[in-house]
Amino acid sequence: MDGSFLIGGQAVTSSETFRAVDPATNEALDTDFAVSTKEHVAQACKLADEAFDSFRETDPEDRAAFLEAIADEIENVDGLVQRAMAESGLPEARLTGERGRTCGQLRLFAKLLRQGRWAEVVVDNAMPDRQPLPRADLRQRRIAVGPVAVFGASNFPLAFSVAGGDTASALAAGCPVVCKGHPAHPGTSVMVARAIANAVKKCGLHEGVFSLVQGTSNELGAALVTDPQIKAVGFTGSRAGGLALVELAQKRPEPIPVYAEMSSINPVVLFPDALKARGADLGKGYVGSLTLGSGQFCTNPGVVVAIDGPELDTFAEAAVEALSEAQPQVMLTSGIHKNYDKGVELLSGQGEVKTLARGAEGTGCNRGRAALFETTGEAFINNPELAHEVFGAASIIVRCTDFDQIAKVLEGMEGQLTATLQIDEGDHEEAAKLVPLLERKAGRILANAWPTGVEVSYAMVHGGPFPATSDPRTTSVGTAAIERFLRPVCYQDLPDALLPKPVKHDNPLKLPRIVDGERE
């Protein structure tokens, strides 16, 4: 494998290199990967800026074909899943599915482009005879914001990485992308980046539409965010990392938005009738969700809240039995594994927290041993540390005295990606009282499911109030993700010859429009 990174379509090397590490063995993998410098970042960003004006005005059909070409290229990359397995420790079935999701979301954005609603064209025709004042001809559309910096995520080497949701939505909007590959999987990043570069060339686009920079230092990411050509940032990762990027972006002479998905414990509320009817099954399902992928999902159920009693005992007993048999899985990196162990140790050391169960002992490197705790509603309310995210298969059951205490527990939580209700029909009245509170706390509210797993669709919201994300008005999954990288422009009384295609009088692109307040 060639360890060069990409500036536009050009493979670039440097004297400084690094290697990926197999988390299952802690041994370095073959291939030296070139480290990008600040000068390389500047070159990539300059090239992206040069590509911007032509790329943002490509017809929706051409951009749709480009996204589909990327998907086709990714599907034809030999050895991609195997390399991702070696660099992440994730199993083949998971990564095969993730490749499918990656290509599927690219094709979904292609479909969105052809539908045209993303442009949100609005026309207010001139009213020269209106009294007391005439109205000018006003036409609005949304245009791309400019080159976008994307940071690959550790826990999704494909779907949230080089060609993941941030890149797909930015390219769909007409924004060139400069991606910083995650240092844990540089080989996977290079393979996908070359697939994108092939699609750029085949579609006859400016080479600056996509670049990949690589390296292990925070300074590289800082150089990317602070480059004046970059106009927005997409990030999935830790709260510390996301907030560092937000601070850098806000201190620029021209501040820019950072769309960071960061931290969530995803509360699950168990209601009495549901517990009574299926407590044991809920306990098993909970552990299945908790331990999936060694708990390395941003939607992992980190806390369960319920009224104390024998039904909750039944749930807890089933969860303990299931978790005690859970085999430890390889975590993504040694650093993530160390932080997980620290988080588990912190929870177990709290005075009013009881350790209910630990997963089976494992052999080998970086195995995440699942952990289940419990505490009281009062203790949870009074100790903010109990609500801190532990990235991995660790969760806490909160035993409350009544619904009022459940509400207080939820009120004290920070913003979340998800909130889940396990309910039966008899629980609807009490559940309805909590829904308005959960709307204020979470971006997605589920009933009778588990939060792990995010559907890529038109209605999906993968976002939420801080610290789940840095901007609760957006989503990083689903077609609405394109809105992060678009801004409105209004054209007043411009001659038709000067109007861009989406707002011309004869609507050559056949985009859906709102004309004089009515949808065409």
Q: What is the CATH number of the domain that holds 420?
A: 3.40.309.10
439, 367: one domain: yes
- Tokens for 434? 């909590």
What was the pLDDT predicted at 419? 98
243, 376: one domain: no
Domain that includes residue 273, residue range: 267-447
305, 230: one domain: no
- Tokens for 150? 């994307």
- Tokens for 290? 């908790």
- 499: in domain: no
382, 239: one domain: no
- 73: in domain: yes
- Give per-residue burial for 464-503: e unless 16+ CB within 10 Å, then b: bbbbbbbbbebbbbbbbbbbbbbeeeebeeeeeeeeeebb
What was the pLDDT predicted at 439? 98
- 507: in domain: no
- Tokens for 52? 């911007």
What whole-number distance in Å separates Cα of residue 92 and Cα of residue 84?
Answer: 9
What was the pLDDT predicted at 154? 95
227, 272: one domain: no
- 495: in domain: no
- 272: in domain: yes
Q: Tell how strand 121-124 and strand 138-144 pair up.
A: antiparallel
Question: SS3 for 51?
Answer: helix
69, 175: one domain: yes
302, 406: one domain: yes
Cβ–Cβ under 8 Å, residues 42 and 7: no
CB count, 10 Å around CB of 291? Answer: 25
Q: What ranges in 118-158 are assigned the alpha helix state H?
A: none
Question: SS3 for 246?
Answer: helix
Q: Of the candidates 404, 416, 420, 417, which has an alpha carbon nearest to the alpha carbon of residue 304?
A: 420
Sheet order of strands, 10-12 included: 10-12, 5-7, 210-213, 177-180, 148-151, 232-236, 258-261
Total structural domains within the chain: 2
What was the pLDDT predicted at 453? 86
pTM over 0.85: yes
What was the pLDDT predicted at 361? 85
Return all residues near 217 (Cβ < 8 A) that are at least 6 apart: 35
- 493: in domain: no
CATH number of the domain where residue 104 is located? 3.40.605.10
275, 256: one domain: no
367, 334: one domain: yes
pLDDT tens for the 520 residues of the chain, in order? 889 999 999 999 999 999 999 999 999 999 999 999 999 999 999 999 999 999 999 999 999 999 999 999 999 999 999 999 999 999 999 999 999 999 999 999 999 999 999 999 999 999 999 999 999 999 999 999 999 999 999 999 999 999 999 999 999 999 999 999 999 999 999 999 999 999 999 999 999 999 999 999 999 999 999 999 999 999 999 999 999 999 999 999 999 999 999 999 999 999 999 999 999 999 999 999 999 999 999 999 999 999 999 999 999 999 999 999 999 999 999 999 999 999 999 999 998 999 999 999 888 899 999 999 999 999 999 999 999 999 999 999 999 999 999 999 999 999 999 999 999 999 999 999 999 999 999 999 999 999 998 999 999 999 999 999 999 999 999 999 999 999 999 999 999 999 999 999 999 999 999 999 999 8
Cα-Cα-Cα-Cα dihedral sign, residues 442, 446, 450, 453: negative
- Catalytic residue list: 261, 298
What whole-number distance in Å separates Cα of residue 482 and Cα of residue 321?
Answer: 44
304, 166: one domain: no
What whole-number distance in Å separates Cα of residue 290 and Cα of residue 23?
Answer: 21
What was the pLDDT predicted at 373? 98
pLDDT digits 0-9 by tens, 100-145: 999 999 999 999 999 999 999 999 999 999 999 999 999 999 999 9
80, 163: one domain: yes
Cα-Cα-Cα-Cα dihedral sign, residues 384, 385, 389, 393: negative
305, 421: one domain: yes
- 244: in domain: yes
- 454: in domain: no
